[in-house]
Structure formats: structure tokens, C-alpha cells
Copies of this chain bind each other. A is one copy, B any other.
Amino acid sequence: MQPSGIITLMSDFGLDDFFVAAMKGVVLSINRTATVIDITHTVSAHDIFGAALTLADCYAAFPEGTIHVAVVDPGVGSERRPILVESDRYFFVGPDNGLFSFIYEAETIRRVIHITAHRFFRQPVSRTFHGRDIFAPCAARLSEGVDPREFGEPITDPVKLTVPTVEPFGEKRLRGQVIHVDRFGNLITNLTAREVPLDLIQSGGALIVGGREVSAIRTHYGEGREGEVFAVIGSTGRVEISLYRGSAATILGVDRGAVVELVFP
């Protein structure tokens, strides 16, 4: 796979501090022609699951050969491994703590490399900022065409998060959960259109979340009615619970982790 020359960055560093700029400086000092794109840097501190999900939702929009760097890294400086994941379409660089859990499911993985090649690191390597000292320089080298196998040995046991699954529950019920709340207060669930056949709901089924029965299905946000809570299939294929021109999260008083039950008619 030919690198696209694009490197994306994601972290929980926030936008107020020097961290993100330092990573970009390091990248451009190695590969002046790299195109650096931010995914987000306001992941909640240490929220590996949230970062993993956000990456999963947008990595494939980028050209093949793009290098995605994700640094949510509470274990920085410890024995946790820096890794490079190569699928048949993309590269991923970051700590081995589960950040790429969704990638392992969605992509055809060629190899996962434990990054150990100190010659590619920024020197001296700090114990507290591997984003700048290991991940950024390795991504930059990779973007120049360095072979992934030069960064270290392959491993077969990368860390994978336990991703919440949809489970049958009682008679005619499925139980999933809210896995994300977006800026508009939409509740993104781990149910997809596959588990939630829209016609079933419209013929008497319902979703139950935060003590509320949701039986209205809409095709887009603006189709809702004043004050209505409804379900919609979001842009990544997941079922979302929305409030017309308002925040479903606020009105239902629920947050990430809340149970969502699907009741068949």
C-alpha cells in the first residue's frame, strides 16, 4: 500500500495546550510535504472507548494509504506497547490499549507491529509524551514510505476492548446501549438497522430508553414534530434516539452507557 501522504491526528490533549502543535511540528520536520488533518483532540481525558468509536466512524472517509494516529494514552511511559496496525487500506499508529478495537473488526488486517525501532524516535524520548516522541515521528517516517516491518516485530495479541453487544433479553426483547451522545444530544446506540427493522417498530414495537417508550421512527431529524422523541438511522448506520430541535440526552436524562431495550410487537 502506497502512503497517501495524509496523517490524521486524534487525542485527548485538548486544544488549549502545546501538545498537538508539537506533534505537527515533529511530523513536518521529518516530512515537510505531509498533509496533517485533525480528527479531534477533545476526547474526554483517558476515554479510550470514545476515541476508538470516533476513529471507527470516520477513518474510511480518507484516501487509502492514510495514516491515522490516535493518542489517548493513560499508560504512556509504562510497558504498554506502541503499535502500528496495517490493514489492506490504512495504517494506524498509537498505544496498544484498545484504541483500534473497532478497526480489527472492520478492516482486513495485514499485520500489527510492536514499534521498537528507536532510530525512528525523537530523541530524547520522554516518559510522558510519546505522541511527540514516538507516534508522530513514526507516522512521518511511514508517510515517507518506510516499510512497516522496519518499525519492529509483528504481534498477534493486540489489546481489544470489550465492545458492548446487543443481547436477547426476555421474550421478544433485545438489549443494547447508548454508546455515544453527540453535540446535538442525539443518543447513538449500538443497535443498527439490522437489529431494528423499522417496519416492526411501526407495527407496534418500541424502543425503551430512560424510562421512555419511543415508537416514532423518522427518516431525518427535521421530520420530527415539536417535542417528539423519535428513532432515526444515523449516518453511520446506527439507531439514534433524537428529540426534535432539542437534546434527547437532556430530556431523557440519560448518558453513555444507558440501556436501550427493543421490544418487538
Q: Which residues of A contact B (CB under 8 A)?
A: 4-6, 8, 12-26, 28-29, 32, 35-43, 45-46, 54-55, 57-63, 66, 74-78, 80, 126-129, 132-133, 182-184, 219-223, 232-235, 240, 245
Query: Whole-angstrom distance between the alpha carbons of A61 and B45 in the complex?
Result: 24
Query: Whole-angstrom distance between the alpha carbons of A126 and B238 in the complex?
Result: 12
Chain B residue with Cβ nearest A246: B45
Contact A22 B61 (CB under 8 A): yes
Query: Whole-angstrom distance between the alpha carbons of A13 and B182 in the complex?
Result: 9
Residues of B close to A184: CB separation below 8 A: 45
Known A4-B32, A223-B77; contact A61-B235, beta-carbon cutoff 8 A: no
Known A21-B8, A21-B58, A21-B61; contact A128-B13, beta-carbon cutoff 8 A: no
The quantity of this chain's copies bound in the complex is 3
Residues of B close to A222: CB separation below 8 A: 74-78, 80
Chain B residue with Cβ nearest A131: B235
13 A-B Cβ contacts within 8 A?
Answer: A4-B28, A13-B183, A16-B42, A17-B54, A21-B61, A25-B59, A76-B220, A80-B222, A126-B234, A126-B235, A127-B233, A128-B234, A129-B235
> Which of B16, B23, B62, B129 interacts with A25 by CB under 8 Å?
B62
> Which of B28, B37, B45, B182 interacts with A17 by CB under 8 Å?
B182
Contact A32 B128 (CB under 8 A): no
Chain B residue with Cβ nearest A242: B128
Contact B76 A17 (CB under 8 A): no
Known A76-B220, A78-B220; contact A58-B25, beta-carbon cutoff 8 A: yes
Query: Whole-angstrom distance between the alpha carbons of A15 and B42 in the complex?
Result: 7
Contact B61 A40 (CB under 8 A): no
Residues of B close to A66: CB separation below 8 A: 25
Query: Whole-angstrom distance between the alpha carbons of A55 and B25 in the complex?
Result: 12
Query: Whole-angstrom distance between the alpha carbons of A43 and B54 in the complex?
Result: 21
Query: Whole-angstrom distance between the alpha carbons of A119 and B30 in the complex?
Result: 35
Contact A39 B13 (CB under 8 A): no
Chain B residue with Cβ nearest A185: B45
Query: Whole-angstrom distance between the alpha carbons of A221 and B55 in the complex?
Result: 25
> Which of B45, B128, B240 interacts with A235 by CB under 8 Å?
B128
Instruction: Output the least CB separation between A65 and chain B (Å).
Output: 10
